[in-house]
Amino acid sequence: MFKNILVPTDASEAAKRALILALDLAKKFDSRILLLHVVYTPEALGYTLSNGIPVPQEEISIYGNEALAATLAGIDIGIVKLEKKQRPGHTANAILEEVKSEQIDLVVMGNRGYGPIAGSMLGSVSQRILSKAECPVMIVK
């Protein structure tokens, strides 16, 4: 039923819970999981850091690897096919692009991560993916 499952992560507890649920689904349906971390950069909105200095790719890579490792810490993926990927950009746009390019059948994501609006029931990224994705989206509390 679900061949390709996308789990976006910001290393939050909600993202970790989403991964655990996605692993259960992947075992049941023999699915592949794409664990994606998007490093939000000022360039995503057409800006660079102060004085026009771009964010070095090495920093993006280090931060992305740390977020992916933190999400996977303490979780046994077993025999599930799991691919890790990171990319810079605007979080919601990058997730939606991955849905198309990776032929994603299901997005499983946390209801909110480390965004700026504390206390909201659904984060802005979750809301955008829920309304714009061309596949089913499962939001995990």
pLDDT digits (tens, 9 = 90+) for 7-32: 999 999 999 999 999 999 999 999 99
Query: Measured in Å, how far apart are the chain's first and last C-alpha atoms?
Result: 23
Predicted confidence band at 68 (pLDDT cuts at 50, 70, 90)? very high
Spelled out in words, what is the top-level CATH class assigned to the domain 4-140? alpha beta
Could you give the CA distance from residue 78 to residue 40 in angstroms, rounded to a whole number?
Answer: 30
Predicted confidence band at 58 (pLDDT cuts at 50, 70, 90)? confident
Joined tokens for residue 119: 């206390």
Tell me the whole-structure pTM to 2 decimals: 0.86
pLDDT digits (tens, 9 = 90+) for 32-56: 999 999 987 665 555 455 555 566 6
